[in-house]
């Protein structure tokens, strides 16, 4: 079975024994928990769209390892068309969920680990590449969701792993056995971890020789003994616990989530280890993963932005100002910014190049340009959305007031805008904008745009390294007639 249905995906999660904690309590049936379920629905959309013939070209691919039809989220990019189709797929899913659909991180981790393990084997004669290919076939054949786990808590950011007061602040190997290793530590900000079948761990920074125990990459089922998850809070998340809540949720069906994943002396068998002490390759793995994930933001954030722009245009209609010139100008600017992000995602894909392993990697410079723009443009899009929506977005009464026998008529009377539209629909669209800019969806759009895949300084470091400033100086010297000589 190379492709799961949405229903099979839900069923597969029910078979797992993933250990989840929320608000200080263990959640046994996390799949049906009202706070968690919307995030699971978002991942399920990656399966549902793959079933649709009209989306087959971008949602599925042919495995270069088995020749089978697979979900693109489990694919290793074979050419620049694959890289572009990835961006198009992510935009489509953003449009369909208006949220984070959580499966990108695993896909980006696959492609980074694939090419990196090839080069480790090339230098050291290890077996990581063969192991990883075998693992990948397993993932493809069962159409699994894999959480790519890179971010460590890091402790004192100025210190490398081996100098930390608490060595567990970077995930590390605490014991090496003949049949595998034992690891301890945590991974933070883990998008979609609860909705994943497997977790693929990677180091989070470049490392020196003294950091050998922290230079580790491996994969395990999420419900492996010793792994447990502390669910992350989101703004307005407890609205999902309110009885009969729908309008107040803004986006009642879909959502995202993050988790703090604890690894408490977890055993990893040899066949699931893909990096074990080869410190000089930690930086390569981090840079390649970061590049792929920064490319991703040129798709997913754009799709969510499409929904936000549409919601803002609807709010303008409800407010009766859709034809006002400055409103139209702002909607045009929102579109301009959003399409610029998409253009960057497509550009870094089109300029991709083959790796030693035969897979394709994005243009690192353009991928980092893409993500640096993502740290800014969604904030400006959000600002204009809030401007056009108006203050009622954050001051309107609750859904219970709207439905109340006494209060409802007053709410409908006094909060009506354009008479062509109902008050209820006006409140619905304002709640959607609130959700996307301030509420639970803001985790996957607004704040994650800044910190996801690395904060702005991380992109600037790569841009400085990839920007080839000396070449640009040489160009200027040649045009200006400046010789490389001292008078």
Handedness of CA 279, 281, 287, 288 (dihedral sign): negative
The last residue of one of the domains, among 262, 279, 296, is 279
Above 60 in pLDDT, residue 362? yes
297 is catalytic: yes
Which distant-in-sequence residues (6+ apart) come within 8 Å of 357 by Cβ? 114, 115, 117, 118, 119, 129
The catalytically annotated residue of 19, 198, 258, 317 is 258
Give the mean pLDDT of 317-345: 98
Read off the pLDDT band of 97 (50, 70, 90): very high
191 is in an annotated binding site: yes
The answer to whether position 479 is within a domain reads: no
Q: What is the pLDDT, as a whole number, of residue 440?
A: 82
| Count of alpha carbons within 13 angstroms of residue 236, beta-carbon side | 24
Query: Does residue 205 sit in the same domain as residue 245?
Result: yes
Above 60 in pLDDT, residue 487? no
Read off the pLDDT band of 1 (50, 70, 90): low
The last residue of one of the domains, among 231, 252, 279, is 279
Query: Does residue 90 sit in the same domain as residue 235?
Result: yes
Encoding tokens for residue 340?
């610029």
The catalytically annotated residue of 74, 97, 191, 375 is 191
Q: What is the pLDDT, as a whole number, of residue 437?
A: 94
Query: Does residue 200 sit in the same domain as residue 334?
Result: no
Domain extent, residue 13, equals 6-279
Helix pair 377-389, 364-374: axis angle to 10 deg: 30
The catalytically annotated residue of 300, 344, 348, 370 is 300
The answer to whether position 480 is within a domain reads: no
Above 80 in pLDDT, residue 326? yes
Which helix (H) or strand (E) segment holds residue 182: the answer is strand 180-187
The answer to whether position 65 is within a domain reads: yes
The catalytically annotated residue of 293, 342, 344, 434 is 293
Query: Does residue 105 sit in the same domain as residue 200?
Result: yes
Helix ranges (DSSP H) in 200-324: 282-319
Q: What is the pLDDT, as a whole number, of residue 486?
A: 61
Contact 243, 158 (CB under 8 A): no
Query: Does residue 274 sit in the same domain as residue 301?
Result: no
Query: Does residue 414 sit in the same domain as residue 299?
Result: yes
Query: The domain that contains 381 carries what CATH number?
Result: 1.20.140.10
448 is catalytic: yes
Phi, psi of 58 (to 5 degrees): -100, -20
293 is catalytic: yes
Residue-wise DSSP of 371-438: HHHHTTHHHHHHHHHHHHH-THHHHPPPHHHHH-TTHHHHHHHHT--STTS-HHHHHHHHHHHHHHHT
258 is catalytic: yes
pLDDT in tens, 121-163: 999 999 999 999 999 999 999 999 999 999 999 999 999 999 9
104 is catalytic: yes
Query: Does residue 324 sit in the same domain as residue 239?
Result: no
> What pTM value is reported for the model?
0.96
What does pLDDT average to over the chain? 96
The answer to whether position 467 is within a domain reads: yes
Q: How far apart are CA 445 and CA 257, in angstroms?
A: 12
Query: Does residue 343 sit in the same domain as residue 226?
Result: no
Beta bridge partners of 22: 25
Calculate the CA dihedral of residues 82, 86, 91, 96 and round it to 10 degrees. 110
The last residue of one of the domains, among 237, 263, 279, is 279
Above 80 in pLDDT, residue 484? no
Task: Report DSSP state, residue 265.
Answer: E
Contact 120, 170 (CB under 8 A): no
Burial of 24 (0-12, 13-18, 19+ CB in 10 A): exposed
Query: Does residue 222 sit in the same domain as residue 309?
Result: no
The answer to whether position 208 is within a domain reads: yes
Query: Does residue 299 sit in the same domain as residue 338?
Result: yes
Domain count for the chain, please give it.
2
The answer to whether position 132 is within a domain reads: yes
Which helix (H) or strand (E) segment holds residue 360: the answer is strand 360-361
The catalytically annotated residue of 231, 297, 342, 360 is 297
Give the mean pLDDT of 466-481: 95
The answer to whether position 487 is within a domain reads: no
Query: The domain that contains 72 carries what CATH number?
Result: 2.40.110.10
Residue-wise DSSP of 36-92: THHHHHHHHHHHHGGG-GGGHHHHEEE-TTT--EEEGGGPPP-SHHHHHHHHHHHHH
Q: What is the pLDDT, as a whole number, of residue 485?
A: 64
The catalytically annotated residue of 55, 100, 151, 344 is 100
348 is catalytic: no
pLDDT in tens, 363-384: 999 999 999 999 999 999 999 9
Q: What is the pLDDT, as a whole number, of residue 450?
A: 87
Read off the pLDDT band of 466 (50, 70, 90): very high
The catalytically annotated residue of 46, 74, 104, 312 is 104
| Count of alpha carbons within 13 angstroms of residue 403, beta-carbon side | 9
Give the mean pLDDT of 232-256: 95
C-alpha dist (Å) from residue 294 to 140, 157, 178, 300, 457: 23, 22, 38, 10, 13
The answer to whether position 485 is within a domain reads: no
Give the mean pLDDT of 167-181: 98
Query: Does residue 250 sit in the same domain as residue 385?
Result: no
Beta bridge partners of 435: none
Read off the pLDDT band of 84 (50, 70, 90): very high
What is the Cα 403 distance to its own chain's centre?
37
Q: What is the pLDDT, as a whole number, of residue 441?
A: 78
Cα radius of gyration (the chain): 24
Which among 321, 247, 271 is positioned nearest to 129, based on CA atoms? 271
pLDDT in tens, 410-419: 999 999 999 9
Query: Does residue 326 sit in the same domain as residue 351?
Result: yes
Which among 347, 401, 395 is positioned nearest to 373, based on CA atoms? 347
């Amino acid at each position: 079975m190379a492709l799961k249905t949405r229903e099979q995906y839900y069923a597969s999660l029910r078979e797992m024994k993933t250990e989840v904690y929320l608000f200080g309590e263990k959640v046994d049936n996390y799949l049906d928990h009202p706070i968690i379920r919307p995030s699971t629905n978002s991942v399920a959309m990656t399966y549902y769209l793959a079933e649709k013939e009209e989306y087959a070209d971008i949602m599925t691919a042919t495995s270069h390892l088995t020749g089978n039809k697979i979900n693109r989220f489990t694919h290793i990019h074979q050419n620049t068309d694959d890289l572009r189709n990835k961006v198009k797929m992510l935009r489509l899913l953003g449009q369909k969920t208006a949220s984070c659909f959580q499966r990108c991180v695993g896909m980006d981790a696959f492609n980074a680990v694939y090419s990196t393990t090839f080069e480790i084997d090339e230098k050291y004669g290890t077996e990581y590449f063969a192991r990883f290919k075998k693992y990948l076939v397993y993932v493809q054949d069962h159409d699994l969701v894999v959480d790519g786990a890179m971010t460590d808590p890091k402790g004192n950011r100025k210190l490398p792993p081996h100098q930390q007061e608490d060595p567990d602040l970077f995930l590390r190997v605490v014991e090496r056995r003949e049949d595998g290793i034992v690891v301890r530590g945590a991974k933070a900000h883990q998008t979609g971890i609860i909705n994943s079948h497997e977790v693929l761990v990677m180091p989070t920074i470049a490392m020196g020789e003294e950091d050998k125990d922290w230079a580790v990459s491996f994969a395990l089922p999420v419900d492996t003994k010793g792994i447990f998850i502390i669910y992350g809070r989101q703004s307005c998340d407890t609205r999902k616990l309110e009885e009969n809540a729908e309008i107040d949720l803004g986006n009642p069906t879909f959502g995202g989530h993050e988790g703090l994943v604890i690894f408490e002396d977890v055993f990893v068998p040899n066949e699931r280890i893909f990096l074990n002490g080869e410190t000089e390759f930690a930086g390569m793995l981090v840079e390649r993963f970061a590049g792929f994930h920064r490319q991703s933001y040129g798709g997913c954030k754009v799709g969510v932005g499409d929904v936000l722009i549409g919601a803002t245009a609807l709010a303008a209609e409800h407010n009766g100002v859709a034809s006002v010139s400055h409103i139209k100008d702002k909607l045009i600017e929102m579109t301009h910014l959003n399409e610029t992000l998409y253009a960057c995602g497509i550009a870094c894909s089109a300029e991709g190049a083959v790796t030693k392993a035969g897979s394709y990697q994005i243009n690192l410079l353009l991928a980092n340009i893409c993500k640096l723009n993502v740290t800014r443009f969604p904030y400006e899009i959000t600002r204009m959305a809030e401007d056009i929506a108006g203050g009622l977005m954050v001051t309107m009464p609750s859904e219970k007031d709207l439905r109340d026998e006494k209060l409802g008529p007053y709410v409908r009377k006094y909060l009506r805008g354009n008479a062509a539209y109902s008050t209820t629909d006006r409140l619905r669209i304002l709640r959607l904008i609130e959700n996307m800019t301030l509420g639970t969806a803001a985790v996957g759009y607004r704040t994650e745009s800044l910190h996801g895949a690395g904060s702005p300084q991380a992109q600037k470091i790569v841009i400085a390294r990839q920007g080839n400033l000396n070449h640009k100086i040489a160009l200027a010297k040649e045009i200006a007639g400046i010789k490389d000589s001292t008078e």
